[in-house]
Amino acid sequence: MCGRFTFTLVEAEAKKRFKIQTILADHQPRYNIAPTQNIPVVVSDQDGNRVLEEMRWGLIPFWAKDAKIGNRMINARSETVAEKRSFKRLLTGRRCLVPADGFYEWKKEGKNKIPLRVTLKDNQAFAFAGLWDSWKNPQGQTVNSCTILTCQPNSFIKKIHHRMPVILSTKAEKLWLDSSVIDQAKLTKVLVPCPANDLKAYSVSTLVNSPRYDGPECVKAQ
């Protein structure tokens, strides 16, 4: 799964990396992003331009009666995304990139759980495959929310956790944001583990255990 991640790029760096034309979010570097928080996501507008927006992490389907359903929909299994009621429609019509430069997992060592930050070996930013939806709360306000797709772990992550987020290749990022692509088989084909050799991990402070902490100290090696 993916329950915490980082996106520490400043706005100019994020704009360049993800070829963003329009920024609608108040983007700041984030060091401990947690579920139910508002996060930056990249979507494609009607003209095919990339837009950085802000969405709630934890998908609230348009038909939901209560926003609390989003608390348990922070992730979606890629293996069944084309079948599940909550995700099937979004796969062909509401895809997004969730930009990041690392994510946290907790490795069991005896009775302890050691927090690890997983990044690309070259420390570059990347994108998780995401889906999003719009929901109206009882007050009539529109709430946009998203979920991060997960898959079976590669050999590197398997030593830490039984699931991992889908990290898209830059080629797959382009496909994922292309609204003209509606072939489910073509879309699900890119929802695979990234190469194990692309990743590295290091221990970080237990400060990341609490979403109250969201500063540079969270990503410092211990």
pLDDT at 93: 93
Q: Express each pLDDT in 87-116 by its tens digit.
A: 999 999 999 999 999 999 999 888 899 999
How open is the CA angle 65-70-74, to the nearest 5 degrees?
A: 160
Residue spans of the chain under pLDDT 50: none
The pLDDT assigned to 25 comes to 87
Q: What is the pLDDT of residue 168?
A: 98
Give the pLDDT confidence score for residue 85 in this predicted structure. Answer: 83
CB-based burial, 146-160: b 16+ in 10 Å, e otherwise: bbbbbbebbebbeeb
| CB of 151 closer than 8 Å to CB of 164 | yes
Q: Read off the pLDDT of residues 14-40 as tens digits, 9 standing for 90 and up.
A: 999 999 999 998 899 999 999 999 999
Annotated catalytic residues are 2, 105
pLDDT, residue 44, reads 96
Q: How many helices (H) and strands (E) does the chain have?
A: 4, 14
Give me the pLDDT at residue 222, please.
Answer: 94
Pairing between strand 50-57 and 142-151?
parallel
